[in-house]
Structure 1
Amino acid sequence: MLASVIRLPFAAVLRITRFRWMGACVLLLALPLAALAQGGAAQAPAPVRFGILPLGGAFESRNDWDPVLADLSRAIGRPVSVLSVTSYEALEQAIQRNEVDMAFLSGRMALDAVTQRRMQVVAQVTRHDGLPGYRALLLARKTGPLNTLSGLLADPERWRLARGESRSVSGFIVPQLQLFLPHHIAMETRFVSEVVGTHQFTALAVANGEADVATNNTADFERFRGQFPVEAARLHVIWESELIPHAQIVVRRDYPAELQRKVQAFLVDYARGKGPRGDAERANLKALHDLAGFLAADNSSLLPAAKLAYQLARQSAMTAQWVNDAARLNRLQRIDSSYAEQSAALREPGRH
């Protein structure tokens, strides 16, 4: 999928021009001439490049994060630039290319960043409901031909699915693991058609009659209700999952320890103060997916995500077709061994 990529420093912007090329929406930023004129001056500190998990539109996500990241920039004394994309895949590719120094990621992507891309967890988000996580959902139209879970499971080949990308915990991994595979339904192959996108995209697809059922989650559906009340009123929940741990903030492992401490201290203290400044910070977080704040965390906070990935791999292996039982057993043993090694690494002191 082509992605809209937004990289902009927290500096004055004269103009944003939108155009389309090869089907991708690209945002061009015209920077002040003064900034260009300073090219020959002393080198400023390199910006911290912050990658944003695509929960809504790329431009909307960037705007939501702007106030918090502007405060972060002041706190650590370095500019912060934003990478906002339209897909999990685009963000994953940017991390692989070392174009991201710090990121807001859900469990599976954070797990991959830590175990494969030399990043580490510094904080985990909290929400106003006080719960340690959120739940995956399935949405259907209240008045559509499909409005019950039993109807979905009885004849999946009849229905059109709108789901998240394969790295999305609530948009794919948890529904596949906790609902569909136990009923011998593979999300990728059993439905008459499928479309893949953000949680906002999947909810709109069902609300507008372009799909019959959508994966989503409690946090994003609550946000969807506020942004699209007319469309949300057409939908209802037909299934919800067990609790899923909240997303994490990860930072490059090779960043100086002092900078990592500053980042973590900023996040942990953010929106906890009194007075106008604290009120403004709390308003920033509430607009940002209704977050309440951040808790100090390390790589061990990814153990639930590792367990989910392990369970999904085992469930997929158990339901797949194999040439013989020995091949299946060999695959399961490799899955068990990999999970044991991963869990030990996430608990290892000094790596978080």
Structure 2
Amino acid sequence: MLRKLLSIALASLACTAAHAADPEINFGVISTESAANLKADWQPVLEDMEKKTGYKIKAFFANDYAGIIEAMRFNKVQMAWMGNKSAMEAVDRANGEVFAQMTYADGSPGYWSLLVTHKDSVYKTLDDVLKRGKEINYGAGDPNSTSGTLVPGYYLYALNGIDPKTHYKAMRVGNHESNLMATAAKQVDVAITNTEVWEKFQKREADKAKNIQILWKSPLIAADPMVWRNDLSPDMKAKVKAFFLTYGRGDSADAKRELANMNKLTFGNFNESSNKQLVPFRQLELFKDKAKLDNDDRMDPAAKQAKLAEINKKLAELQAQIASAK
């Protein structure tokens, strides 16, 4: 009897040890919306990923983009859906590497940043916002958001000689969904969001969406990247990449179900990608810094020229990368 009990105990320990050793991936999701909405939309995809790779997949949410970047830096997240700006930070600071890129359900090659207001707002045009900033409460995007900060930071503000931190009466930072909610409730006068979340918002909050007016639409933003930690094992990378590049492709019932999962996220299939995807956004960040310097009349001329020379050098290096890739 004792031998039998010992055998059962050893078998149980072996099973526990084996379970503990099962490969596990914490999958980060940037906070474009509430965690509840993101979890509901991503969970079917992550469950399919778990079945097809054999890895245990856990969703990881944070209150802001920096939380996902830092989690990857400390290996609490091994893989994440990110925007191009947050992917730049992950590559530079968190041992990240781009391996795939989204496409869009409607066939669009990318998405757009939007500046919105309430339909009853006294601010009817972009010109009103640019000229009357000191009256306006502004709903800003996450500092690490491509469409919330980087793109409007250049096209909307730097090109107009404006620093949003000083231009507006008050500024509050939110995700794309909360900015739409705040605008619809007249808690802010204008706010930044993007077309990805705006599309979902019109379906989920149809009554509130009727109160939103779009004042500005950015140039096209390339579709979001998928990022993993560069130190994942080659076997894990191969299985994960195979999952994403085949997900939702084909005519089978399973493929159609998978594509429907992605469409709920406003996405289509995935294509292979790399860190080269980030080069145009690195350029954009440097262009934004350059425009800000050009508009600064208080800076010492010699110091300004030195900083401009440094920016121009970095831009030339990025341009050389683009040329060599052709």
Q: TM-score with structure 1 length normalisation?
A: 0.83
Q: For the residues of structure 2 that align with 1:339 and 1:118, how far apart are their CA atoms? A: 23
Match of 1:199 among 162, 165, 176: 176
Aligned length: 314
Tell me the alpha carbon deviations over residues 199-257 of structure 1, each in whole angstroms, 9 at most, x when there is no partner.
Answer: 01001111101011011111211111111111110111111111011110011111122
Q: Give 1:338 shift.
A: 3.7
Contact 2:148 2:193 in 1 (8 A): yes
Contact 1:136 1:241 in 2 (8 A): yes
Matched, 1:53 2:30: yes
Q: For the residues of structure 2 that align with 1:267 and 1:348, how far apart are their CA atoms? A: 28
Q: For the residues of structure 2 that align with 1:75 and 1:348, how far apart are their CA atoms? A: 37
Change in CA separation of 1:74 and 1:348 when aligned onto 2, cut-off 3 Å: farther
Change in CA separation of 1:42 and 1:73 when aligned onto 2, cut-off 3 Å: closer
1:29 equivalent in structure 2: none
Q: For the residues of structure 1 that align with 2:319 and 2:153, how far apart are their CA atoms? A: 22
Contact 1:132 1:245 in 2 (8 A): yes
Kindly indicate which of the two structures has a greater share of residues assigned to strand.
1
CA RMSD of aligned residues (A): 2.3
Q: Give 1:59 shift.
A: 2.4
Q: TM-score with structure 2 length normalisation?
A: 0.89
2:103 equivalent in structure 1: 126
1:309 equivalent in structure 2: 285
Query: Between the two proteins, what is the percent identity of the paired residues?
Result: 29
Matched, 1:337 2:313: yes
Deviant stretches of 4+, over 4 Å: 35-42, 339-349
Q: Which runs of 5+ in 1 are unaligned?
A: 1-34
Tell me the alpha carbon deviations over residues 299-351 of structure 1, each in whole angstroms, 9 at most, x when there is no partner.
Answer: 111122212212112122222355421101111222233445566679999xx
Q: Which runs of 5+ in 2 are unaligned?
A: 1-11
Give 1:1-352 correspondences, 5 Å limit.
39=16, 43-288=20-265, 290-341=266-317
Q: For the residues of structure 2 that align with 1:333 and 1:263, how far apart are their CA atoms? A: 42
Report the residue type matching 2:172 in the other structure: V
Report the residue type matching 1:243 in the other structure: L
Contact 1:59 1:84 in 2 (8 A): no
Tell me the alpha carbon deviations over residues 123-156 of structure 1, each in whole angstroms, 9 at most, x when there is no partner.
Answer: 1000022221111111011112222212111111
Kindly indicate which of the two structures has a greater share of residues assigned to helix.
2
Q: Which is worse superposed, 302-311 or 335-344?
A: 335-344
Q: Which is worse superposed, 159-168 or 69-78?
A: 69-78
Report the residue type matching 1:169 in the other structure: T
2:5 equivalent in structure 1: none
Relative contact order, CA 8 A, sep 6+: which one is greater? 2
Q: For the residues of structure 1 that align with 2:193 and 2:253, how far apart are their CA atoms? A: 35
